[in-house]
Structure 1
Amino acid sequence: MTGFYPSDQYGFSTLLTEDERQVLGRLRTVLEQQVQPLLADCWERGEFPEQIIKPLVALNLMDPPELTRGGALPGGLFGGFRNFELARTDASVATFYNAQSGLFRTAVNLGGSPEQAAEWDPLIRSFEMTGAFALTEPHHGSDIAGGLETSARHEGDAWVINGAKRWIGGASTADYLAVFARDEADRQVKAFLVHTDTPGVALSKTEGKMSLRIMQNSDITLSDVVVLEDHRLQKVNGFKDVAGLLRNMRSDAAWIATGLQAGAYEAALRYVNERRQFGRPLAGFQLIQEKLAAMLGNVTASLGMVVRLTQQQDEGIYKDENSAMAKMWCAARARETTALAREICGGNGILLDTGVGRFFADAEAVYSYEGTHEINSLIVGRALTGISAFR
Structure 2
Amino acid sequence: MADGDFYLVSQTLSPEDNALRLKVRAFMEAEVQPIIADFWERDEFPFELLPKIGALGIMGLPYQGYGCPGRTTILTGFVMMEMARVDASLSTFFGVHTGLAMGSIHACGSEEQKRKWLPPMAALEKVGSFGLTEPLVGSGASGGLLTTAKRDGDTWTLNGEKKWIGNATWGDLTIIWARDVDDGQVKGFIVENQTPGFKVEKIQHKMALRVVQNGHITLTDCKVSEADRLANANSFADTARVLRMTRASVAWESVGCATGAYEHALRYAQTRQQFGRPIAKFQLVQDLLFKMLGNITSTQSLCLRLSQLQDQGVMRDEHASLAKGICTTRMRETVGWARELLGANGILLDQHIGRFVADAEALYSYEGTREMNALIVGKAITGFSAFV
TM-score tier (shorter):
over 0.9
Equivalent position to 1:38, from 30, 35, 38:
35
Residue 385 in 1 paired to residue 382 in 2?
A: yes
Query: Residues 135-188 of structure 1, C-alpha deviation per residue, up to 9 Å, x if partnerless?
Result: 000000011112100000101111000000000011122110000001011011
Contact 2:59 / 2:94 at 8 angstroms: preserved in 1?
Answer: no
SS in 1 for 2:187: strand
Match of 2:288 among 288, 291, 310: 291
Match of 2:359 in 1: 362
User: Structure 2 unaligned runs (5+)?
Assistant: none
Go from structure 1 to structure 2 and tell me whether the alpha carbon gap of 1:190 and 1:63 turns closer, same or farther (over 3 Å shift).
closer
Which AA in structure 1 matches 2:219? L
CA distance in structure 1 between the partners assigned to 2:92 and 2:74 by the alignment:
18
* CA–CA distance in structure 2, aligned partners of residues 212 and 190 of structure 1: 29
Per mean C-alpha deviation after superposition, the further-off stretch among 208-217 and 176-185 is 208-217
Report SS of the residue matched to 2:85.
helix
* 1:41-83 deviation per Cα after TM superposition (whole angstroms, max 9, x unaligned): 111111111112121111111378xx99xx9821121111000
Q: Does 1:166 align with 2:163?
A: yes
Query: Structure 1: any 5+ residue segments left out of the alignment?
Result: none
After TM superposition, the structure 1 stretch with the greater mean CA deviation from structure 2, 379-388 or 324-333, is: 379-388
Measured in 2, the distance between the counterparts of 1:25 and 1:325 equals: 28
Cα shift at 1:240: 1.4
Asked if the contact 2:95/2:246 (under 8 Å) is kept, the reply is no
Q: Which of 298, 314, 320 is 2:317 aligned to?
A: 320
Structure 1 CA distance, aligned partners of 2:12 and 2:283?
33
- Find the counterpart in structure 2 of residue 207 from structure 1: 204
Partner amino acid, structure 2, of 1:373: R
1:167-206 equivalences under 5 Å are 167-206=164-203
Report the equivalent of 1:157.
154
Q: Which amino acid aligns with 1:329?
A: I
1:348 aligns with 345
What RMSD over aligned residues (CA atoms) do the two structures have, in Å?
A: 1.6
Q: Determine if contact 1:36/1:89 at 8 Å carries over to the other structure.
A: yes
Distance in 2 separating the partners of 1:231 and 1:195? 9
Instruction: For 1:138, give the aligned amino acid.
Output: P
Number of aligned pairs? 384
The AA in structure 1 aligned to 2:158 is: I
Q: Does 1:336 align with 2:333?
A: yes
**Displacement of 1:117 after TM fit?**
2.2
Aligned to 1:240: 237
Question: 1:305-346: CA deviations, max 9, x gaps?
Answer: 000000011111120100000000000001000000000000
**Counterpart of 1:280?**
277
Q: If the length of structure 1 is used for normalisation, what is the TM-score?
A: 0.95
The amino acid that maps onto 1:108 is I
Q: Which amino acid aligns with 1:101?
A: T
Question: For residues 207 and 81 of structure 1, what CA distance do their matches in structure 2 show?
Answer: 31
Does residue 87 of the first structure (1) align with residue 73 of the second (2)?
no
Residues 63, 74 of structure 1: 8 Å contact kept = no
Counterpart selection for 2:102 from 101, 105, 117: 105
Q: Could you state the TM-score of these two structures normalised by the residue count of structure 2? A: 0.96
Give the superposition deviation at 1:115: 3.5
Contact 2:60 2:69 (C-alpha < 8 Å) held by counterparts: no
CA–CA distance in structure 1, aligned partners of residues 48 and 27 of structure 2 = 12
Task: Provide the rounded CA distance (Å) in 1 between the counterparts of 2:58 and 2:318.
Answer: 29
Distance in 2 between residues matched to 1:261 and 1:176, nearest whole Å? 31
**Deviant stretches of 4+, over 3 Å:** none
